[in-house]
Amino acid sequence: MFKKSHAAQELERHRVWLNLTNDQGLFKQLLIAYVEGATNGFEYNYDGETLDANPYADFYSINEDRKLIIQGRALPFDPSDRVPLGYRSGITGDLKISIDRTDGELAAEDIYLKDNQTGTLHNLKNGPYTFSTVTGIYDNRFVISYNTGKKLGVEEFKSGSNGLSVSSKDKTITLKSAHSALRDVKVYDVSGKQLYSIQKIGDTQLKINSIQSGTQILLVKTILENGNTITRKVLF
């Protein structure tokens, strides 16, 4: 997907490869990648459109009305993100959507497939999702997500119990953790551009006053020493 230089290998990235298959040997694969440098818009360096060369089926994610077999998305990874999926079928019968592999935070996250036609919400980490189809193009049937409304409530409770406070005043961002020391902190603008990064903090407090920016919403991604990852929005 990306040029294989040493620098590229050091990029922060969280990826999932999804397969569309059937019992007769059909195979199509797509990639969704949250990676440094990408935005949620279309970019030739990070996104690849389908060639639709398989006569039996095509499988893709959708962004800005483009059908993508590779979709780069902005950091920090946001568990509330949603990615529509579409497919074209030249056959009638059962197809399966499954996870081929994952890395980064997506190795630990639940990955849900929502079938808008049946109303089914299926956790792909528990196994493939089998569905029936007839021939045609279906660009509104599936959506990938990483949490449900119920899970969102749990995550909010956990964030509160972590006792992490993130505030911004006079161009200074202040982080205070009541229970676990801060390990790594990264700050991004809403396009996904990284503005600040610090590692191996080992303290419960941090002040960031080196960011040069006008008034905007910033995303502060914090990894605590206990392993929890929390992303907060602040008005800078």
User: What's the confidence (pLDDT) of residue 10?
Assistant: 66
Q: Which two tokens stand for residue 226?
A: 């206990």
Q: Are residues 71 and 44 in the same domain?
A: yes
Tokens of 75: 């950091």
Beta bridge partners of 13: 35
pLDDT on residue 152: 37
Taking the alpha carbons of 111, 105, 31, 195 in that order, is the dihedral positive or negative?
positive
When divided into structural domains, the chain yields a total of: 2
Domain membership flag for residue 1: no
Q: Which two tokens stand for residue 203?
A: 């303290």
Q: Which of 235, 231, 234, 217 is nearest to 186 (CA)?
A: 231
102 and 182 inside one domain = no
Using CA of residue 149, residue 64, residue 49, residue 41, what is the dihedral sign?
A: negative
pTM of the predicted protein model: 0.66
Per-residue three-class SS string for 90-108: CCCEEEEEEEEEECHHHHC
User: Can you list the residues of the chain whose pLDDT is less than 70?
Assistant: 1-10, 148-162
**CATH number of the domain that residue 179 is part of:** 2.60.40.1270
Examine residue 152 and state whether it is found in any structural domain, yes or no. no
From 77, 112, 147, give the residue that closes a domain. Answer: 147
pLDDT at 39: 93
Q: Strands 82-89 and 205-208, how do they pair?
A: unpaired
**Is residue 182 within 8 Å of residue 224, measured between CB atoms?**
yes
Q: Look up the domain containing 185 and give its range.
A: 159-235
119 & 34 share domain: yes
* Residue 154 counted as domain residue: no
The burial class, CB within 10 Å (0-12 / 13-18 / 19+), for 104 is middle
Distance in angstroms (rounded) separating the CA atoms of residues 171 and 235: 10
Q: What is the pLDDT of residues 37-73, one digit of tens each?
A: 899 999 999 999 999 999 999 999 999 999 999 999 9
Which residues fall within 8 angstroms of residue 157, CB to CB, at 6 or more apart?
none
- pLDDT of 76: 87
